[in-house]
Amino acid sequence: MPKKGGKKGVQGKRTAMAEEEMAKQKKDIATKLINDMHQKEERNSVINWHKLMEKWQAVFRQTRAQELRADIDVLSQTSKRVLDHKDIIIKELVDQLRESKQQPLRYLQNVDQLLDQHKSRLAFLNQKFDTELDDLRPEFNSDRQQVMVQHQQDCAYQKDVCFALDQHDSAADSKAQLEFLSNQHDIKNKYIEQMDAQRAQLELELEEMWKQLQDATCTYHEATDDHHATCAILQARDGPSCCQTDARDKRIQKIQETCVTLRDKFRASMQQAQAAMPSQQAHKEKATNQCREQRTQLGNICAQYKNNISKLIMQSSAAAKKLQGVIVKGERLVRLAEACRRLETAQERVQPFYCSPVSSEEQGLEKAQQQESTTPELDQAKRDHPVLDGICQRHSRVQLHQLSLRRERAVLTRQNKQLMHQELDGLVVNGDTLLQRNDLPTTSRSAQCQHSSSQQKGALELQHTS
C-alpha cells in the first residue's frame, strides 16, 4: 500500500509540472500576440501622424502665404509714404537754395544801380561846379589867393582825415576778414571732422549689421535692404551739402572782391572830390553812409550764410541720429528674431497658429471682460508690441503641454499598476482569454488619443484666453 501511494504522488507531481509548462507556453504565446498587435498599432499611428502633418503643413503654408502678402502690401505702403515725405523735404531744400542763389544776384544789381547813380551825381556836380566857376571867376579874382590858401589847408586836413579813416577802415576790415576766415575755417574743419567720424562710424556699424544680416533669415533681409537704401540716400545727401558749402564760400569771396573794388572806386572818387570845392564834403558823408550801409548788409549776408551752414550741420546731425536709431532698431529686431528662432521647436515652427473652438458670443464676452480689467497703459503696450502675443501663447502652450504630460504620466502609471495586478491575478491563460478583448493595447491607444485631444483643446483654450 505505501508503494502505490508513492507512485501516485510522483505521477501527480509530473502532471503538475506538465501543466505548469503548458501554462508558461500559453503565456509566452499570449505575450507575443500582444507585442505584435502593439507594434502594428504603433506603425499605423506613425503613418496617420505623418499624413496629418503633411495636410497641416499644406494648410499652414497657404495661411502663411496670405499673411506674408498682406505684410508685403503694408510695407510697400509705408515705403511709399516715406518716399513722399522725403520728396517734399527735397523740394523745400531746392526752393531754399534758389532763394539763396537769387539773394546775391539782387544784391549785385542794387550795387550796380547805386554805382550808376553815384556816377550820374558826380557828373552833374562837375557840370554845376564848372558853370559856377565860370560865373564867379570874373567877380572873385581878388579873393583867389586867400581861397587857394584856405583850400590847400582844407585839402591837407581832408587828406589827414581820409588817411586816418582809411587806416581805421583797413584795420577794421582786416580784423573782420581774419575773424570771418578763422570762423569759416573752424566751421569747415569741424564739419569735415564730424562728417569723417560719422562716416567711419556708419561704415563700421553697417559692416557689423551686414554680417549679422547674412546669418539671419530671408524675411529680415528685405527690411535690412530698405535700411541700407536709406543709408545710401543720406550719404548721397552729405556730398551735395559739402558742395553747397564750397559754393557759398566762393560766393563770399566774390562779394569780398566786389567790396574791394568798391572801396577802390570810392578812394578814386575821394581824390576827385579833393580837387573840388568843400561843398562836396556833404556828398562824401553821404557816400560814407552808403558804404556803411553796404557793410552792414554784407555783415547781414555773412550772418545769413553762417546760419544756413549751422542749419545744414544740424540737419546732417539729425539725419545721422535717425540713421543710428534705424540701425539700433534693426539690431534689436535681429536679436529678437534669433531668440525666437532658438526658442521655437520643430513642431511650433510647423504649427504656430490655431483655430479657437470657442463660439463668437463667448469670445465677445471675454473681450469685454478683458477691456474692463485692462488699463490704457497695457492696451498701448499691446498695440506697440503685437508680436509678444504669439510668444506668450507659445509659452502658455509649453506650460500646458508640461502639465498634460504629467497628468498622462500619472494616468499611465495607474493603468500600468492595474494591468500588473490583473496579470498577477490571472497567471493562467487559456484559449478563451486570447479570444476575449485585451485591455493593454486598447488602453494605451485610448490614452494616447485622449492625451492628444486634451492637449490640443487645452492649448487652444489657453491661447484663446491669452
Identify the pLDDT of residue 392: 65
How distant, in Å, are the alpha carbons of 6, 12, 14 from that of 2?
6, 15, 19
Residue 12 neighbours by CB distance under 10 Å: 10
Angstrom CA distances, 36 to 29, 48, 212, 400, 443, stand at 11, 19, 53, 34, 16
CA–CA separation, 220 and 232 (whole Å) = 19
338/29 Cα distance (integer angstroms): 55
**pLDDT the model gives residue 382:** 64
Contact by Cβ (8 Å): 466, 393: yes
User: How distant is the alpha carbon of residue 132 from its chain centre?
Assistant: 80
Three cell numbers written together for 350: 510647423
Please tell me the pTM assigned to this model. Answer: 0.21
Burial class (CB in 10 A: 0-12, 13-18, 19+), 280: buried
Pairwise CA distance, residues 180 & 174, whole Å: 10
d(CA 313, CA 194): 9
Q: List per-residue pLDDT tens for the chain, 466 residues long.
A: 444 455 566 777 888 888 888 888 888 888 888 888 888 888 888 888 888 888 888 888 888 888 888 889 888 888 888 889 889 999 888 988 888 888 878 878 888 888 888 888 888 988 888 888 787 777 767 776 776 788 788 888 878 888 887 888 788 878 878 888 887 778 878 778 877 887 788 778 777 777 766 676 666 556 656 666 776 776 677 667 667 767 777 777 777 787 777 777 777 766 765 666 666 667 767 777 877 887 788 778 878 877 877 887 888 788 888 888 888 887 887 787 778 777 766 555 555 444 444 455 655 665 666 555 556 666 666 666 665 666 666 667 777 878 888 998 999 999 888 888 887 776 544 444 444 444 444 444 444 444 445 444 444 444 444 4
Q: How many CA atoms within 13 Å lie on the side-chain side of 394?
A: 18
CA atoms within 13 A on the CB side of 168: 6
What residues does each domain of the chain span? 70-134+148-348, 357-365+387-424+449-466
Cα 250 from Cα 242, distance rounded (Å): 13
Q: Where are the alpha helices (DSSP H) in 216-279?
A: 218-274
DSSP state of 304: H
